[in-house]
Amino acid sequence: MSNQTMVHRVENETILVLERVFNAPKELVFSMFKEAEHLKRWWGPRGWEVTVCNVDFRPGGVWHYCMKCMDQKQGDFYGMESWGKAVYKEIDEPDNIVYTDYFSDAEGKVDDSLPATLVTMEFIDMDGKTKLVSRGEYVSSDSLKTVMDMGMLQGITETWDRLEERLNELK
């Protein structure tokens, strides 16, 4: 089905654009990114669970989270933790969220050795469905290559698949 497919493209060698249509109303899709109770249930690739999820959803607020690999079949990743921190810049509910996404540690200290991403998420109403457009801007093409080499596309595809499943549970 077409609403299962994520399309991606790279612009100017530094911007990764992701698009997918979800079969759910815009306000519901937006709320999935706003509320910790929702984020805990779908954020992250398959086999990973959000074990810490603190959301202060306002401009200047921070979302600090930890994903942990719970899937023994993922070998070396099993038991690994990945901490992230998002700092919200703009929120225009239910249309847009702009934030800077960082890799961090458990205390929320940013890991400067890994690329930060300026993310703009746009939620577009399509007759009761929602087109989600995510633009991730990197400081350089090398930074974008680094996250692509880390398997980000597969991770986001699985994450958005889990979002679709969560939306289906709630409809």
Angle at 50 between CA 166 and CA 167, to 5 degrees: 10
133-165 confidence digits (pLDDT tens): 999 999 999 999 999 999 999 999 999 999 999
Per-residue model confidence (pLDDT) at position 117 = 97
Contact 110, 103 (CB under 8 A): yes
Beta strands (DSSP E) in the chain are 7-11, 15-22, 48-55, 62-69, 81-92, 96-104, 117-126, 129-137
Domains of the chain with CATH codes? 2-43+85-153+160-170 (3.30.530.20)
Position 1 confidence tier, pLDDT thresholds 50, 70, 90: very low
| Spatial distance between the Cα atoms of 87 and 64, rounded to a whole number of angstroms | 9
Question: How many Å apart are CA 128 and CA 35, to the nearest integer?
Answer: 21
